[in-house]
Amino acid sequence: MMVGTVAGLEVEMIDGIALVTISRPEAGNSIDPPTASALNSLWLAAAEDDDVVVVVVIGAGERFFCTGMDLKKTATPGGTPYVVEYLKGQQLSFAPPVDFHKPTLVALNGMALGAGLELALACDVRIAAVGAELGLPEVKIGSMPGQGGTQRLPRLIPRSVAMKMLLTGDRMSASDALRYGLVTDVVEAAELKTTALELAGRIASAAPLAVQAVKTAVNLGADLPLEDALRLEAFLWGSLRETHDRTEGRTAFAEKRPPRWQGR
């Protein structure tokens, strides 16, 4: 797992939490090709690193979380046809992969627009600062969301509310995002990072395999008929039954001590 600063990202490890800060304040913390590549590499590395239990993403400063793709540096027509890039898997990708099993948390410290909101939508838990604004304004520049915005947003909030955002490009306030369940908490800007790390710490204190199994059950079960989803849940529950951590959890409970998870 890379730690340090690379291509507009600052990464640090804090007790099993990979804290990722998008740090391009001069460009509204927007995502240019090097930053997209760095994010893609980060998810791949985090998936393989046993020291990473939870990933938290936040933006630098208090004005911007991420204002989307850097329009000055992203591709324009005239280069390689997109269909070629798509079929070869070469298109820009910066959100956690669908099969990323570790929990992800986003702290929206400011504007989350376009690709910035799509990054947040791809994560498991979203919290926001009081002044944060969320939006998918692509239609205002002759485009459309292309990193999951049209698919994830209507799955997370009422369809008509999502359609209003998508078709107008209008922004949603943090308070409305809380009202519709798009974020779980809204806190003062000065408390956001601390709140995010405290929440991530509570997740990181649980058994890592159990946490990943829960995430898998929710994500895969969402699109299954209930009967099949219950079978999936039972299978995942059973897959934990003989693990070291399940035994350790019960032993620690009986001995009234904190469990020592090993992720196996």
Q: In what order do the strands lie in the sheet with 111-113?
A: 64-66, 111-113, 133-135, 171-173
Please identify which of the residues 62, 138, 233, 242 carries the catalytic annotation: 138
CB burial of 229-247 (b: ≥16 within 10 Å; e: otherwise) equals beeebeebeeebeebebee
Let me know if 55 is exposed, middle or buried by CB neighbors in 10 A (0-12, 13-18, 19+).
Answer: buried
**Checking DSSP bridges between strand 171-173 and strand 104-108, what pairing results, if any?**
unpaired
| 3-class DSSP assignment, residue 47 | helix
Instruction: Say if residues 49 and 55 touch (Cβ distance below 8 Å).
Output: no
- Among residues 68, 158, 156, which one has the least CA distance to residue 119? 68
- Please say if 118 is a catalytic residue: yes
- Please say if 138 is a catalytic residue: yes
Please identify which of the residues 118, 227, 242, 255 carries the catalytic annotation: 118
Radius of gyration for the alpha carbons in the chain, expressed in angstroms and rounded: 19
Catalytic residue numbers read 118, 138
